[in-house]
Amino acid sequence: MTEATAGKPAKALSRADTTAPARSISRTLGRPALMILPWVAAVLVWYAVALSGLVSSALVPTPGQVFKQFWRLLTTQKLWFDMLMSSERVLLGLAAGITLAVPIGFVLGWYRPVRTAVDPLVNFFRALPPIALIPLVIVYFGIGETAKIVMLFYAAFFTGVIVMYEGIVQINPLFIRVARTLGATDGEVFRRVIVPLTVPHVLTAVRVALGVAWATLVASELIAAQRGLGAVIQNASNYFQIDVIYAGIICIGVIALLMDRCLRALGARLVRWQERIVP
Amino acid sequence: MSERIVFDRVSKEFPTATGHMVAVEDFSLRVRDGEFISLVGPSGCGKTTLLSMLAGFVQPTTGAVSLNGKPVAGPGPDRGVIFQDYGVFPWLTVRDNIAFGLTLKANRVPPAERDAVVARYIELMGLRGFEDAYPKTLSGGMKQRVALARAYAVKSDFLLMDEPFGALDAQTRTAMQDLLLHVLETEGKTVLFITHSVEEALYLSSRVVVITARPSRIRRVIDVPFPYPRREELHRHPEFAELEYELRELVMQEYVDQERQKDVSLTA
């Protein structure tokens, strides 16, 4: 949806050359404008759909209505508290998942026999949808905070492990050989070569796991959650408050996006040396 | 003790899916101090295996590889290894790459001395102005100069080079050959050099060893009669051209043999 509308101005400028106008647009508008443009376009399309009369206005609220609801929830229902609760759950689940996923993913990536043995198991557990686990989680962990965080931990851990070991497998053994010929001991090879080469994969694992954790949030808050964005969405669905559902979904997306941006900025600082397609 | 490197009836077999593959068979070579030895031969003939045994990455199946009279037990800073793929650490700047070896326990020196050594090799390798650059911004030739400087910084006695200029374009390659000769003039080293290029082998080496198709054996050892220091003009020397022709014929025969072996193994 956003792609199609972003392409429009380029077409208006010139039909013959596609790259030159695209470049000149980014030059005249600048990077921030280029990043805001698709959002503006998306909101416009949303308005167009909502007001077109093609769909019932009861089913698709306008962005204005949703924003009004958002503001009402924020000022009267302490929506910020739901945001905080959900963010806290996601971050705790993510932290626990990644803390365990990094060493385990490393061992799996480093030792081929271990990988051969454990890989099917990891993929088996990763494939299980978190919602299907809810009854078991309730039996074993009750209906408190722990149960919700366990769900998020589960999702973050298995995603993190896979991203980690896929990355570790790709580490070029040439660098280890070079370090050895320069006189590095086993400890020095680990600290000075393997650790720096692992950092980018840890960052990727955190980013991917963060996305998966947010995606699992609503499921985890199906477990008797009073507060949290997932709870907001579920309560709204009981009362058919579609504009509230929209507001909740958008909050999740925006917070997830902001957290991902922070991680990217952190990553760019930590692995300045890495080759990137876009400099 | 003038014999620094000795391959004594070395052979190396690797296990394969269908049994085992003999990469090197009954290979003997003695290298004297300060020699520049090139190994030329068909690709996949086991040249890299020979170098890996000397570097200490793999152990021979039978026979012995010794260095200064002692058998090679593992890799060490006395032998700098230069790979075709550079192996420059991407997470370190040019300066930190060159200093890397000097910060390890095996050859640690005081920071002031380390800085001096690094500065010297940055100058010698023509890397001034790029001290703080990350390898991603460097060309292939520059990366290889960083790798060379890094190996030199730990004061290794030997340089083992596995097709070091194979990935470079012709002009850069020529420049790198001359740089290597220049650096060797200022600080001598004993060099084992693997290459596909007969011309490169002749231009750089004091002896050229022609290796047979797999398993690696010595086909012929040729003493290169031209004195050092060598310059570009050597390429136009009639005797150079003659030797080059002779060597090329030898190497070509091995290529043909290798192809024939492949045919046999395919029909068998």
CB contact under 8 A, A197 and B76: no
Alpha-carbon gap, residue A86 to B105, rounded angstroms: 48
Which pLDDT score is estimated for B18?
84
In DSSP notation, A40-69 reads HHHHHHHHHHHHSSSS-TTTS--HHHHHHH
β-strand partners of A190:
none
Residues of B in contact with A201 (CB under 8 A): none
Alpha-carbon gap, residue A262 to A257, rounded angstroms: 9
SS3 A28: helix
Q: At what angle do helices A145-169 and A195-220 cross, to 10 degrees?
A: 150
Residues of A in contact with B74 (CB under 8 A): 180
Q: Higher pLDDT residue, A16 or A243? A: A243
Residues of B in contact with A273 (CB under 8 A): 90-92, 134-136
Angle at B45 between CA B40 and CA B51, to 5 degrees: 70
Paired tokens of B108: 């640690």
Alpha-carbon gap, residue A178 to B236, rounded angstroms: 37
Q: Sheet harboring B79-82: ordered strands across?
A: B79-82, B158-162, B190-195, B36-40, B207-211, B218-223
β-strand partners of A234:
none
What pTM was estimated for this model as a whole? Answer: 0.81
Residues of B in contact with A192 (CB under 8 A): 100, 104
**Rounded mean pLDDT of B6-20?**
90
Mean pLDDT check: name the lowest of A106-110, A267-271, B37-41. Answer: A267-271
Instruction: Using CA coordinates, name the residue in chain A closest to B87.
Output: A175
Alpha-carbon gap, residue A168 to A194, rounded angstroms: 9
Average pLDDT, chain B: 90
What is residue B84's DSSP assignment? T
Closest-CA distance of chain A to residue B97, Å: 10
Paired tokens of A194: 């393997």
Residues of B in contact with A184 (CB under 8 A): 104, 106
- Give the pLDDT confidence of A173-201 residue by residue, as tens digits: 999 999 999 999 999 999 999 999 999 99
Position A4 pLDDT exceeds 50: no
Alpha-carbon gap, residue B141 to B175, rounded angstroms: 9
Question: Which chain A residues in 148-187 lie under 8 Å from chain B, judged by CB atoms?
Answer: 174-175, 177-185
Position A6 pLDDT exceeds 70: no
Question: Among partner residues B57, B77, B135, which is closest to A182 by beta-carbon distance?
Answer: B77
Residue A17 pLDDT level (bands cut at 50, 70, 90): very low
Closest-CA distance of chain A to residue B60, Å: 18
What is the end-to-end Cα distance of chain B in Å, rounded? 48
CB contact under 8 A, B92 and A273: yes
Alpha-carbon gap, residue B211 to B218, rounded angstroms: 5
Query: Which of B53, B78, B79, B89 should one mutate to test binding to chain A, selecting the residue with the greatest count of A CBs within 10 A?
Result: B89
H or E stretch covering B99: helix B94-99
Alpha-carbon gap, residue B57 to B54, rounded angstroms: 8
- By the 10 Å C-beta count (0-12 exposed, 13-18 middle, 19+ buried), A171 is classed as middle
Paired tokens of A271: 């692995």
Mean pLDDT check: name the lowest of A216-220, B48-52, B135-139, B253-257. Answer: B253-257
Closest-CA distance of chain A to residue B180, Å: 19
Note the helical H segments in chain A: 2-13, 19-29, 31-51, 63-76, 79-110, 112-127, 130-141, 145-169, 173-181, 186-189, 195-220, 229-238, 242-270
Paired tokens of B159: 């340089």
Residues of B in contact with A272 (CB under 8 A): 134
- Give the pLDDT confidence of A132-143 residue by residue, as tens digits: 999 999 999 999
Instruction: List the one residue out of B161, B189, B259 whose CA is nearest residue B32.
Output: B189
Instruction: List the one residue out of A62, A105, A83 whose CA is nearest residue A198.
Output: A105
Residue B85 near residue B168 (C-beta atoms within 8 A): no
Question: Among partner residues B87, B89, B107, which is closest to A183 by beta-carbon distance?
Answer: B107
CB contact under 8 A, B100 and A197: no
Position A7 pLDDT exceeds 90: no
Question: Among partner residues A181, A192, A271, which is closest to B75 by beta-carbon distance?
Answer: A181
Nearest-Å Rg of the Cα atoms of chain B is 19
Query: Which of A178, A186, A203 should one mutate to test binding to chain B, selecting the residue with the greatest count of B CBs within 10 A?
Result: A178
**Rounded mean pLDDT of B210-232?**
89
Residues of A in contact with B91 (CB under 8 A): 196-197, 271, 273-274
Mean pLDDT check: name the lowest of A7-16, A45-54, A87-96. Answer: A7-16
Alpha-carbon gap, residue B155 to B113, rounded angstroms: 13
Q: How far is CA B136 from CA B81, B140, B147, B150, B214, in A?
A: 21, 10, 14, 17, 37
The total of other beta-carbon atoms located within 10 Å of residue B218's CB is: 16
Closest-CA distance of chain A to residue B78, Å: 8
Which pLDDT score is estimated for A271?
84
Alpha-carbon gap, residue B178 to A120, rounded angstroms: 54
Q: Sheet harboring B62-67: ordered strands across?
A: B19-32, B3-16, B62-67, B70-71
Give the 3-state DSSP-derived string for A98-115, with helices as H, strands as E and coil as C: HHHHHHHHHHHHHCHHHH
Question: Among partner residues A178, A185, A275, which is closest to B105 by beta-carbon distance?
Answer: A185
**Rounded mean pLDDT of B71-85?**
92
> Computed from CA positions of residues A237, A239, A242, A243, in that sequence, does the dihedral angle turn out positive or negative?
negative
Q: At what angle do helices A112-127 and A145-169 cross, to 10 degrees?
A: 140
Alpha-carbon gap, residue B126 to B75, rounded angstroms: 28
Question: Among partner residues A174, A180, A271, which is closest to B75 by beta-carbon distance?
Answer: A180
B155 touches chain A (CB under 8 A): no
Question: Among partner residues A185, A197, A275, which is closest to B136 by beta-carbon distance?
Answer: A275
Strands of B49-189, DSSP E:
62-67, 70-71, 79-82, 158-162
Which pLDDT score is estimated for A20?
60
Percent of chain A with pLDDT over 90: 68
Question: Which chain B residues in 16-35 lie under 8 Å from chain A, judged by CB atoms?
Answer: none
Which pLDDT score is estimated for A9?
40
Instruction: Using CA coordinates, name the residue in chain A closest to B155.
Output: A182
CB contact under 8 A, B87 and A178: yes
Percent of chain B with pLDDT over 90: 65
Instruction: Using CA coordinates, name the residue in chain B closest to A173.
Output: B87
Instruction: Using CA coordinates, name the residue in chain A closest to B91.
Output: A273
